[in-house]
Amino acid sequence: MAKQVNTMSTNQTTNAEKANVAKRIFNLIILDESGSMHGLEKMCVDGVNETIQTIKNAAQSNPEQKQMFSFITFSGRLMNEHPIRVKTYLEEITKVEEFPVEAYAPNGNTPLFDAMGIALTELEKKVTDDDIALVTVITDGYENASRMYSQRAIQNLVSRLDERGWVFTYIGANQDAMYESSKIGIKNSMNFCADEEGMKRMWEKERRSRGMFYQKSSYMKKGDGGLKENYFDNDNE
């Protein structure tokens, strides 16, 4: 009888732990579409499409967690033009289709702060305290065209969302990604080389890290240090 009681207790604990795991993951990719990304169109779109498949695999492996997907790009062409282009927004991952190369046309400057400020402010309206938000920022250059948001404003916004358990990653080329990301409050960062081979390696590492993140999110509570930190460092390849 004692053994049966212990088994029931274990099952109850397991169910209680599952109840504290996030039921929805909001994936947001913010990708640089400025002129300096010209020549990398196919690698960028291929990488996003392969990432979509990684998210779909996670949704299939853990159907108890609903995977939402948003993908925006940013560039500054004209003074009166909106800095972001919404490719898809808050779509359940099972409904997201692959993007054609033609959907990505680099041009203009790099309004990184405006893109982050607009996208994060809008997403915050949808993410509850029971959800996880995973935000991925990819750029090959420095901020040089924002008009609405300053570095300080983005740092404050990221810090506030970080306290709510949001997870941020920053992937940068032609810069010290760790230093640049730290200036806006992002702790998880990775450098990449902005050429075909460098892009391939970057996307591969990001997908491996993302897959490990989804595995941990299936049993870790939102806000756990092991879930928010060392996003890329947990990938040993």
70 Cβ contact partners less than 8 Å away, ≥ 6 residues apart: 26, 27, 28, 29, 86, 88, 89, 90, 91, 119, 123
- Whole-angstrom distance, CA of residue 204 vs CA of residue 237: 10
Q: What is the pLDDT of residue 234?
A: 63
User: Which of 118, 182, 109 is CA-nearest to residue 148?
Assistant: 118
Spell out the domains of the chain, with CATH numbers in brackets: 23-228 (3.40.50.410)
* CB neighbour burial string for 113-148, b if at least 16 within 10 angstroms, e if fewer: bbbbbbbbebbeeebeeebbbbbbbbbbbebebbee
How does DSSP classify residue 66? E
Q: What is the pLDDT of residue 57?
A: 97
The Cα–Cα gap between 17 and 110 comes to: 43
């282009």: which residue's tokens?
85
Whether 237 shows a pLDDT value over 90: the answer reads no
9: CB partners within 8 A, 6+ apart: none
- CA-nearest of 87, 91, 29 to 59 is 91
Kindly report the pTM of this predicted structure: 0.89
What pLDDT, on the 0 to 100 scale, is given for residue 76?
82
The overall average pLDDT reported for the chain is: 89
How large is the average pLDDT for residues 187-209?
95
Per-residue model confidence as pLDDT tens digits over 95-151:
999 999 999 999 999 999 999 999 999 999 999 999 999 999 999 999 999 999 999
3-state SS assignment for residue 235: coil
